[in-house]
Amino acid sequence: MNEQVAQLATINSGAFSLREVGKIYDPTGARVVALDNCSVDIHANEFVALVGPSGCGKSTLMNIMAGFDDLTSGAMYLDDVPLSTVERPAKPGPDRVVVFQHGALFPWMTVLDNVTYGLIRQGRMKKKEAAEYAYQFLDKAGGLNKVAEYFPGQISSGMQRRVEFIRALINDPKILLLDEPFRAMDTVTQARMHRYLLQMYQVFPKTIMFVTHDIDEAILLSDTVVVMTTRPGKIKLSAKVDLPRPRTPDMITSKEFLVLKKELLTAVHEEAKKAFERGERELA
């Protein structure tokens, strides 16, 4: 493996903490309490999945972590250093990179230009150096160097999503925030992307926060599954996934998997039922 690429596989920093985080929208008017006293500790290079009923605050929590939204109370820490407080809210930064549900590749740029955009924009590398580095990185990430000169519209949706992961990873963030990245995909493509993400996590370990509605997906991918309550969003439970890595699809039929799935489904259903009874949303 190339020395520069190998550096990204080195276990380093990325411990992330949310301490008693709260979020109130329109505090002097409608006063919508989206989050209430949320505390989560994520170890460096830990893969955490966040699940809960629709509207429980998962995306709000993700936006606060990314620096897209301010918190109303509490604090956020990265490697035990305050990152966001009420007095000093965090801004988006290269230490936290988001991959959204809907594709965000620049359609007028080639795969190579998309992947190198951040490296050049941040002044970390000149164009030639960034291109050479990206080709090596794309090669190690499943042979995507073969489509480096293609435009996003010329490759499949699954391959586009892989390129987005590589664009995020090549910038070497401390934490990767994945907001339902596979939700719009068909079952076959989802399964392929699960395998790909698991492979990338083995090669390039990162601290990951993964938002999903899919309990099977959460268990298969993560080290810990965090369940949120209905609004105002709180942390209902945090469950460790005691399955060995590397993970394989056949694990979804194991006893350990099914026992944990039942526990998590029960917790999510309890919260969805509360929301339904209050008339907030349909029971899913």
Query: What is the DSSP code string of 209-251?
Result: EEE-S-HHHHHHH-SEEEEEPSSSB-EEEEEE----SS--GGG
**26-30, 107-111, 156-160: which has the highest mean pLDDT?**
107-111
Residues 141, 18 share a domain: no
pLDDT at 208: 97
Q: Is the pLDDT of residue 10 over 50?
A: no
In a domain, 190, yes or no: no
Q: What is the mean pLDDT of residues 83-102?
A: 90
The dihedral built from the CA positions of residue 116, 50, 26 and 64, taken in this order, carries a sign that is: negative
Residues 141, 52 share a domain: no
Residues 266, 152 share a domain: no
In a domain, 192, yes or no: no
Q: What is the mean pLDDT of residues 21-36?
A: 87
Residues 211, 72 share a domain: yes
In a domain, 264, yes or no: yes
In a domain, 2, yes or no: no
Residues 73, 102 share a domain: no
Q: Is the pLDDT of residue 184 over 80?
A: no
User: In this structure, what CATH number is given to the domain that contains residue 30?
Assistant: 3.40.50.300
Q: What is the mean pLDDT of residues 243-262?
A: 94
pLDDT at 284: 37
Residues 163, 259 share a domain: no
In a domain, 232, yes or no: yes
In a domain, 194, yes or no: no
DSSP line for the chain: --HHHHHTTS-----EEEEEEEEEESTTTT-EEEEEEEEEEE-TT-EEEEE-STTSSHHHHHHHHHTSS--SEEEEEETTEEEEESSS-----TTEEEE-SS----TTS-HHHHHHHHHHHTTSS-HHHHHHHHHHHHHHTTSGGGGTTS-GGGS-HHHHHHHHHHHHHTT--SEEEEESTTTTS-HHHHHHHHHHHHHHHHHS--EEEEE-S-HHHHHHH-SEEEEEPSSSB-EEEEEE----SS--GGGGGSHHHHHHHHHHHHHHHHHHHHHHHTTSS---
In a domain, 272, yes or no: yes
Number of domains the chain is built from: 2
Residues 232, 142 share a domain: no
pLDDT at 276: 76
Residues 216, 84 share a domain: yes
Residues 58, 144 share a domain: no
Give the least confident one: 9-13, 53-57, 173-177: 9-13
Residues 139, 40 share a domain: no
Model confidence at 77, pLDDT cuts 50, 70, 90, reads very high
Residues 70, 127 share a domain: no
Domain that holds residue 119: 96-172
pTM as predicted: 0.89
Residues 82, 129 share a domain: no
